[in-house]
Amino acid sequence: MLQNTTSIRVRYADTDKMQFVYNGKYLEYFEVGRTELLRSCGLAYSELEKAGYQLPLIEAGVKYKSPAYYDDVLEITASINEINSAKVYIEYSIKKENADEIIVTGFTSHMFIREETKRPTKPPQIYIDALKKYFQ
Amino acid sequence: MLQNTTSIRVRYADTDKMQFVYNGKYLEYFEVGRTELLRSCGLAYSELEKAGYQLPLIEAGVKYKSPAYYDDVLEITASINEINSAKVYIEYSIKKENADEIIVTGFTSHMFIREETKRPTKPPQIYIDALKKYFQ
Amino acid sequence: MLQNTTSIRVRYADTDKMQFVYNGKYLEYFEVGRTELLRSCGLAYSELEKAGYQLPLIEAGVKYKSPAYYDDVLEITASINEINSAKVYIEYSIKKENADEIIVTGFTSHMFIREETKRPTKPPQIYIDALKKYFQ
Amino acid sequence: MLQNTTSIRVRYADTDKMQFVYNGKYLEYFEVGRTELLRSCGLAYSELEKAGYQLPLIEAGVKYKSPAYYDDVLEITASINEINSAKVYIEYSIKKENADEIIVTGFTSHMFIREETKRPTKPPQIYIDALKKYFQ
């Protein structure tokens, strides 16, 4: 399993008039978790793009357990549990720093496409090479 | 069943460097669909808030079928299929104007809370009254 | 002078915990005003991009006169006062529907670049042709 | 003078189809700079709000010098040059980490309001006390 935790601080811009972080913002926080997960295994997503691949979403799910507020520091844990698949499936869990309470959990699933053609392709070798040591 | 379709135009701000609408933006489009769904049955969400209620999300799901692009006009169809429930479950489907292809489908589920206490409460009578004629 | 007014409705996503529309959102509203201004003279911005041009910002300014709130319908008036210039300078004024009070005023200035090279270029002929009848 | 520099990483969500960071996003980056500027002198903005004050914008300006791209690490420098004023005037400069080139410069001006009444008030004593040692 490949797992990484990264932190972000909630911006004023992220909140809404309910005082909570806006529901759609968590998909952006998931993006940050996913980006740092890939960087943690030595393969920045920007490198994947430079190699001609992109990783758009096929599906996403979010379970809202508890609200987050302005200026909270949130820890985003992202993990990939399987590598032998045409899809990339990533799970997320967000909690406040120094607290046990879960704010949201969720997932995103992705497929690789070629940047030029925007057509689906299987996971490229640079991706497999970067991740395989976590799945032995 | 209560159902409504409303249109929005994709902004430059909604796109990302992949040329597509950013994945998290669809939850904002779902919000527009939900807002106009409630308005269509005579109960603006802002009225619900003035009456002391809010309707935060418990869960959301999005299936990305096909990308949307800058300046596309998107039709967001939102529907509520059941009224006798503690939760409010809303389904969405987004397609391009004058086209059959589905862009995304998804759902959000919500619970009512009291604005002051932020504590859960059952669906208020003004909500039941506004919707019940669609469920007979 | 070329002038156009278009309407948008404030989304929950646009608000922040101060209850007001978030300050940065107005630049997105200016984008909507600018997009519809160009469409009103028969030259959709997406057509400019298809012709190989883009129009990034050089400068922007916003004066916040009065707050806007969730579900407000806002009228965005955008205008171009001069055509014989290397830059494109657009002014904006936003007010609530059926009200006189100004919410914000502002401007953006832009230069044309070629999409491929991202290098500055003078205003293209399709732009001049579309606008010149408003400046006689 | 009170000055502070903080870093953020550009998210995919921040980019647009021009490949650059979206013009309106910089006001959100200014917010991050401002928040960390206040925190650096021991007065978190969230503390100001707990004390019953808010600091909405009166005016903002942005000069776009050079584009920023996905995954860039940006250094946001925010500074306050004067304390004896009814307004709070903050200047910003954003550049890439390990580079000299300026991405954007800008300013925001603010007034204090009371959270409950949303009415203007002079800068509160906790604000003056936190900043005065930088202006001697």
Which ipTM score applies to this complex?
0.95
Phi, psi of B65 (to 5 degrees): -95, -40
pLDDT at residue C84 in the model? 79
**Nearest-CB residue to D62 (from C60, C67, C118):** C60
Identify the residue among A35, A37, A69 best suited for mutation to test binding to D, counting D beta carbons within 10 A and taking the highest: A35
Other beta carbons less than 10 A from residue C125's beta carbon: 9
Q: Which of A16, A71, A72, A129 is catalytic?
A: A16
Assigned CATH topology for domain C2-135: Thiol Ester Dehydrase; Chain A (3.10.129)
Q: Tell me how close the Cα of A116 comes to any Cα of chain C, in angstroms.
A: 15
**Nearest-CB residue to C11 (from B13, B28, B49):** B28
Phi, psi of A4 (to 5 degrees): -150, 145
Q: Is the dihedral of CA C25, C26, C27, C29 positive or negative?
A: positive
CATH assignment of D2-134, among 3.30.420.250, 3.10.129.10, 1.10.10.10, 3.90.1570.30: 3.10.129.10
Q: What is the pLDDT of residues A77-130, one digit of tens each?
A: 999 999 878 899 999 999 999 999 999 999 999 999 999 999 999 999 999 999
Asked if B46 and C13 come within 8 Å (Cβ–Cβ), the reply is no
Identify the residue among D10, D14, D46, D118 best suited for mutation to test binding to A, counting A beta carbons within 10 A and taking the highest: D46
**Nearest-CB residue to C71 (from B11, B12, B46):** B46
Active-site positions of D read: 16
pLDDT (tens place) for every residue of chain C, 136 residues total: 999 999 999 999 999 999 999 999 999 999 999 999 999 999 999 999 999 999 999 999 999 999 999 999 999 999 999 987 889 999 999 999 999 999 999 999 999 999 999 999 999 999 999 999 999 8
SS3 labels along chain B = CEEEEEEEECCHHHECCCCEECCCHHHHHHHHHHHHHHHHCCCCHHHHHHCCEECCEEEEEEEECCCCECCCEEEEEEEECCCCCCEEEEEEEEEECCCCCEEEEEEEEEEEEECCCCCEECCCHHHHHHHHHHHC
Specify whether the CB–CB gap between D106 and D124 falls below 8 A: no
Does B14 qualify as catalytic in the annotation?
A: no
Averaged pLDDT, D30-55: 96
